[in-house]
Amino acid sequence: MVGEHKLCALRRSGGLLLIATALAAVTPAGGTLMPVTHHGPRVRAGILSIPPHHADGRVRVIVGLEPTPLAAAYGRTFAAVGPTHRLDVTTSFSRRYLARVVASQRAAAARLLRAIPQARIGRRFQVVLDGMTVTLPVTKLPALARLAVVHKIYPSATYRLLTDTSPGVIGADELHTVTGARGEGIRIGIVDDGVDNKNPFLAPDGLTYPAGFPRGGKKWTTPKVIVARAFPGPNSGRRGRLPIDRQASFHATHVAGIAAGDAGTCSPGGRDHPPTCGLSGVAPRAYIGNYRVFNVPTPIGQIANTPEIAAAFESAVRDGMDVINFSGGGAETEPANDAMVEVIHNVVLAGVVPVISAGNDRDEFGMGTIGSPGTAPDAITVAATSNTHVFSPVLAVRSPGAPADLAGIPIASAGGARFPGTLSVTPNDLLDVGSLGVDRRLCGPDDDPNNPNKTSLRAGSLAGVIALASRGECTFVSKAIRAQRAGAVGLVLVDNRPGEANAIPVQLPIPAGMIADLDGAHLRAYLATTGGRAPVTISNIIQRDETGRSGVITSFSSGGPTAFAHLLKPDVSAPGGQILSSTLPEFTGGTPFAVFDGTSMSAPHVTGAAALLLQLHPGWSAQQVKSALMSTAGPAWADTARTQEAPVTLEGAGLVDLPRAAKPLVFTQPSSLSFQDLDVNHGADSKALLVRVSDAGGGNGTWQVQLEAQSATAGASLDLQPELTLAPGGETELAVVARASATASAGDDYGFILLGRGEETRKIPYEFYVGRPQVELTPAKKLQRLQLGSTLAGTNRVTTYCCPSAPFGPPPDYVGPAMNESGAETTYTTTIDHPVANLGVAIESATPGALIDPWFLGSPNERDVQGYAGTPVNVNELMPDFGIDLGTAGASFPKVQRFYVTVDSGSDPFTGRALPGRYVLRSWVNDVRPPKIRLVTRRVAQGRPTIVAHVTDAGAGVDPLSVVIAYRGVLVGAALYDPGTGVAIFPIPKAAAKFGKGRTRAVLSAADFQEAKNVNGVGSNILPNTAFRSVSITGVAGPAVSWVAPPQNACVEKTVALVAVASSTRRVRSVRFLVDGKQVGIDRTGVSDVFTGTWNARFALRGVHVLTARATDAGGRTFSAARNLRVCH
């Protein structure tokens, strides 16, 4: 995005409005041809590839069976509390139990196939799940749910990858030195995209295979990487069966290096870092198990699905892995239907530690964005912090006597483009625009901040200088244009997010970059002493710059609580920014090392930490490892200066401190307290939870219990006992009660419960929300297939919805409210009484200029948005309009329950102007089929004619932004679409290729609104609600005409709208409309090849009549198209 806030643009092309106005005059009632507002160029380079198994109407689910899986059964035995805690699948108990599960599954499969012969059974699970994957027609889901053998139905969710000295940030170096532990004998399973066993950071020097290894594809193993397995997903092809694909894998090797890279390794350098020595993983002598699941190719990279991930976790448990790392995730869906929640629970019962990335979505969706399976209560979910250094070019102030900290300021690039090399050697003046008396944000006026033609800068005021301005309030591009027009030769922006500088996501018209907020403050303080300017150089090579600012929560790191259950997550924090580790040379184009950012990188730090703890304490359970890491964690920071601790909803318990975690003194279970929501609409509310506190060695004695609140609302409190006493080797309970009075203020309450004994302190994070739901105060109407509504009149009760908290992106200034839903809401309700694949609503049409937003809720509570899919934006990353406010909301594989839909309207995020209006709301259930597409203009004039298609969808309705034609290497979006008639119009612009004489092969594509809500996969097709139609368009060296309306053989009674599209190699002079050879109209002023007329059929004879559209060009050439219609009066 060129801007920083997701918003449906309100401006429309004047030419398109002329077409729409002309057609509105002749379009029948119920039809409205509306301009399609694109948020990027309407013409893009590219091709459309039709996915395999497209639109087969089948869904892929995991069917949960009974009895419980082996891990759950093992967790109930005395062996689970023995000295090792880990499940061994080779014992006689395990073999007997697995035999019973296999026999039970065989019988269940037979019953299922008898009941639903169209079903197909795939993978089977016995250790961490008792179930099997089943593919069947979506219409058979209710029948599947009614089968006695079916205990649970889980959807196949889609997951994506979440894309040095960092071990020292969590104390790994100190632990290595003090204890000698380096991970010897510990096995780490990497469930990812395939580990490169040949990478020098994973060299097997000095290691030998443990007994019973290698396993899997031995060709891809070494005494370091002791397992290599692949779990091919649907349509992954031959390469999906490889444990590593050297043309696609890159991520798992980076993750493995962070967790267990060989100590003392050197990187030769690369495009993103200089030569660097002394690299080490957190547990450098640990073994690696490679479990490749990310192997399904998509436009956004390789993805994975629940069945394959669950199978990989099960295999890792069978192979005896001690820790499993999963640096992937997906948008959370209904946790009761999330198989991975059950998988993670049973992995823990098997004695294996699961470490999961928190997610990277806070910059785009705000709080409440923890991804699945990081939402699983039993997972160790990891947030990301900054590292001690960054790899980037640097800005240096060259004035004599300038402070030393201004001699090397890291600067992030704009769109990957660096400053020109001349600026690295020849100083150029940097000017703080604030010194000119203008707003440092360099925006337009409040009522039009993004208009680059409106500026407070005088002409020439920035002549020859590099402008220093602030991020926020308006788009990057508009800032750059204003600076350029004032004469600037470059632009440096000061970030408005804490932590290290973020890159500018787009290239700008002048060289540009971003510096951290703290560096910007120091730089401006110095410039204030020098008249606002100073000479600087800006390097264009990557340097390693030691900032010493580790432990600051990154702006991308997802925040809690979880979207559905409102559980406190993440659990801990670790470095995830600017992490140098191993990867594939095929990925980098040369070096086997690269610098990545993400919670994908923070999770393996904790995975390595868990490995070290298990080496030191082999008798610890997975829960005890989690407790040790959480209770001993140090602060992660909310600000770049590291003066304010981050909230527990961002840091969890805090930054991992390994030396303290190795001696936790006490274990706490649970290790954090989630009181969820307290509703005080009907009086005081409270909730009590118990914490079991046990001696972890040296923890006996009396501990003082105190509250350290980070956020507290008036009228809310946390009741604690003043102290607790532990006997040696004993345990006790700590009762905690969250209370909110009837007059309590709404808001977040969170912080730490501290256990103190002398100088020792251990902590338990807690969180709850005091709510006064406003949706429950309004009566709910029954949701219909189509209904009219308005946000213009009535009471505005709700201004914000959650979770996620910021689906439209952060506010322009990054500190204000993430949204202002200012309309008068209407609430609708519907009930699902049997399993369905999806349901949802969409705004089919609305008052021009209105911004109507539906929200899909699990209860009459504005904080119960059903995750990403429940928001109005497109949350399907495979679609080009991802992140855009489409006015559609829903749920994928929802629970059987009652749901609520609140329709509200938003405000312009830049000006604050309310945007209410009237709307038509459409609803659907179980839409797993794509729209239908028919080409109207099969014969056109060569050149750039207007193309017309007919696109309809009986379910969710057509998403106009998805309607595209692809030909000759370009993609052209529809400019106008009528949801009433399905007419889509593509005036071909100059930026697109011409249609030549003869046949041109093309592909038409369109998605429905359900596709925008597909955070779950429903079958083997990655885009089940998107249609692809291969067509042939014939170009002629003369006129061509095609009918648009009325439809062939339509039945008419009164006035008939006549619409035709005509083109020629010369200007089309007119289109005449004839009925049975008699002219009834002529249009000499068609816009973009669209010509219109009307015919009064009131006095025509009943029966069939022939309509003719005759186009004549400036050369006198004509061409006609005819169609029949019936007069029915």
CA distance 887 to 829: 17
CA distance 158 to 43: 29
Mean of pLDDT values over 877-904? 93
CA distance 342 to 346: 6
What pLDDT does residue 10 have? 28
Helical ranges in 34-132 per DSSP H: 70-75, 92-115
Q: Model confidence at 813, in pLDDT bands (50, 70, 90)?
A: confident
Contact assessment for residue 160 and residue 330, using Cβ atoms and an 8 Å cutoff: yes
CA distance 891 to 956: 13
What is the percent of the chain with per-residue pLDDT over 70, rounded to a whole number? 94
Strand pairing partners for 1071?
Answer: 1083, 1111
CA 176 to chain centre: 37
CA distance 812 to 579: 29
Backbone phi and psi for residue 658, each to the nearest 5 degrees, phi listed first:
-60, -45
List the structure tokens of 369: 């964005």
Higher pLDDT, 322 or 1055: 322
What pLDDT does residue 752 have? 99
What pLDDT does residue 1027 have? 93
What pLDDT does residue 598 have? 94
Residue that has been written with the tokens 């979505």 in this structure = 361
Q: Model confidence at 16, in pLDDT bands (50, 70, 90)?
A: very low
Backbone phi and psi for residue 12, each to the nearest 5 degrees, phi listed first:
-130, 150
* The amino acid at 1065: T
CA distance 295 to 231: 8
Highest mean pLDDT out of 85-94, 875-884, 1101-1110? 1101-1110
Contact assessment for residue 170 and residue 282, using Cβ atoms and an 8 Å cutoff: yes
DSSP 273: B
CA distance 650 to 602: 13
What pLDDT does residue 396 have? 96
What pLDDT does residue 465 have? 97
CA distance 725 to 729: 12
List the structure tokens of 256: 């493995």
666-771 and 159-385+567-632 share a CATH fold: no
CATH number (2.40.110.10, 2.60.40.420, 2.60.40.10, 3.40.50.150) of 1038-1129 reads 2.60.40.10
Q: Which CATH architecture has domain 389-546?
A: 3-Layer(bba) Sandwich (3.50)
Q: Which residues lie below 8 Å from residue 872, measured CB to CB, with a gap of 6+?
A: 807, 853, 854, 855, 885, 886, 887, 888, 889
Which CATH fold topology does 666-771 show?
Immunoglobulin-like (2.60.40)
Strand pairing partners for 1092?
Answer: 1059
- What is the dihedral angle through the alpha carbons of 1083, 1085, 1089, 1095, rounded to the nearest 10 degrees? -20
CB count within 10 Å of CB 300 equals 12
CA distance 1060 to 1000: 21
Q: Model confidence at 456, in pLDDT bands (50, 70, 90)?
A: very high
Task: Quote the pTM value.
Answer: 0.92
Contact assessment for residue 801 and residue 823, using Cβ atoms and an 8 Å cutoff: no
pLDDT over threshold 90, residue 593: yes
Mean of pLDDT values over 545-551? 94
Strand pairing partners for 131?
Answer: 64, 125
Q: What is the DSSP string of 595-619?
A: EE-SHHHHHHHHHHHHHHHHHH-TT
pLDDT over threshold 60, residue 40: no
DSSP 1108: E
List the structure tokens of 359: 């997610």
Length of the chain: 1129
CA 376 to chain centre: 18
Distance spanning both ends of the chain, measured CA to CA: 53
Sort residue 982 into left (φ over 0), alpha (ψ -120 to 50) or beta: left
What pLDDT does residue 753 have? 99
Helical ranges in 60-181 per DSSP H: 70-75, 92-115, 141-146, 166-169, 172-179
Backbone phi and psi for residue 1073, each to the nearest 5 degrees, phi listed first:
-110, 125
CA 870 to chain centre: 13
Residue that has been written with the tokens 């090579």 in this structure = 541
Kindly state the helix (H) or strand (E) to which residue 312 belongs, with its residue range.
Answer: helix 306-318
Strand pairing partners for 985?
Answer: 948, 976
pLDDT over threshold 60, residue 226: yes
> What average pLDDT does the structure give for the chain?
92
pLDDT over threshold 70, residue 33: no
What is the percent of the chain with per-residue pLDDT over 90, rounded to a whole number? 81
Contact assessment for residue 214 and residue 319, using Cβ atoms and an 8 Å cutoff: no
Strands 932-935 and 946-952, by their bridges, are antiparallel
What pLDDT does residue 29 have? 40
Residue that has been written with the tokens 């274990």 in this structure = 667
CA distance 23 to 56: 36
Do you find a cis peptide bond into 511, omega within 30 degrees of 0?
no
Backbone phi and psi for residue 900, each to the nearest 5 degrees, phi listed first:
-130, 145
What pLDDT does residue 161 have? 80
Strand pairing partners for 729?
Answer: none
CA distance 762 to 215: 41
Indicate the domain borders of the chain. 58-150, 159-385+567-632, 389-546, 666-771, 775-925, 1038-1129
Strand pairing partners for 1074?
Answer: 1079, 1108
Residue that has been written with the tokens 């008798």 in this structure = 619
CA distance 902 to 895: 19
Least confident window among 720-734, 843-857, 1008-1022: 1008-1022
State the CATH class of domain 159-385+567-632. Answer: alpha beta
Strand pairing partners for 1003?
Answer: 966, 1030
pLDDT over threshold 90, residue 1017: no
pLDDT tens digits, 362-394: 999 999 999 999 999 999 999 999 999 999 999
Q: Which residues lie below 8 Å from residue 221, measured CB to CB, with a gap of 6+?
A: 197, 213, 214, 215, 227, 228, 290
Q: Model confidence at 13, in pLDDT bands (50, 70, 90)?
A: very low
What pLDDT does residue 467 have? 97
pLDDT tens digits, 753-777: 999 999 999 999 999 999 999 999 9
List the structure tokens of 827: 């609430």
Q: What is the DSSP string of 120-150?
A: EEEEEE-SS--EEEEEEEGGGHHHHHH-TT-
Strands 394-397 and 466-470, by their bridges, are unpaired
Do you find a cis peptide bond into 445, omega within 30 degrees of 0?
no
CA atoms within 13 A on the CB side of 438: 24
Q: Model confidence at 24, in pLDDT bands (50, 70, 90)?
A: very low
